[in-house]
Chains A and B, each alone.
Chain A
Amino acid sequence: MSILQGSDLECVRGDRRLFRDINFSLDAGELLQVHGPNGSGKTSLLRMLCGLATPVHGKICWHGTDIRSLKGNYYGAITYLGHLSGVKDDLTAIENLRISSALSGVEIDTEKAHGALQHMGLGGRELLPAKVLSQGQRRRVALARLLVCGTVLWILDEPLAALDSAAVKLMQNLLEQHLGQGGMVVMTTHQEIDITTGATQRLQLT
Chain B
Amino acid sequence: MSLWVIQRDLLLAMRRRSDVLTTLFFFIIVVSLFPLGVGPEINMLRTMAPGVVWVAALLASMLSLGRMFSSDYLDGTLEQMLLSPQSLAMLVLGKALAHWLVTGVPLVLMSPVLGIQYDLSTDALLVLTASLLLGTPVLSLIGAIGAALTLGLRGGGVLVSLLVLPLYIPVLIFGAGAVEASAAGLGASAHLSLLGAFLLTSLVLAPWATAVSLRISME
Q: Majority SS of interface residues in chain A?
A: loop
The distance in angstroms between the C-alpha atoms of A83 and B79, with both chains bound, is 11
A173 to chain B, nearest CB (A): 24
- Does B76 have its Cβ within 8 Å of any Cβ on chain A? yes
The 8 Å CB contact of B83, one of A73, A75, A91, is A75
Q: Majority SS of interface residues in chain B?
A: helix
B12 to chain A, nearest CB (A): 5
The 8 Å CB contact of B76, one of A53, A76, A83, is A83
- Check if B85 sits within 8 Å of A85, measured CB to CB: no
The 8 Å CB contact of A75, one of B8, B74, B84, is B84
Would you list 29 pairs from A and B whose C-beta atoms are within 8 A, ordered by A residue? Answer: A52-B79, A72-B85, A72-B86, A72-B87, A73-B85, A75-B83, A75-B84, A75-B85, A76-B85, A78-B83, A80-B83, A82-B76, A82-B79, A85-B76, A86-B80, A88-B12, A89-B75, A90-B12, A90-B16, A91-B8, A102-B1, A103-B4, A103-B5, A103-B77, A103-B84, A104-B83, A105-B84, A105-B85, A107-B4
**Interchain residue pairs A-B with the least CB separation, the first 8:** A84-B76, A76-B85, A86-B76, A90-B15, A105-B85, A102-B4, A86-B77, A75-B85
Which residues of B line the A interface, CB within 8 A? Answer: 1, 4-5, 8, 11-12, 15-16, 74-77, 79-87, 91, 218-219
Which residues of A line the B interface, CB within 8 A? Answer: 50-54, 72-73, 75-76, 78, 80, 82-91, 95, 99-100, 102-105, 107, 129
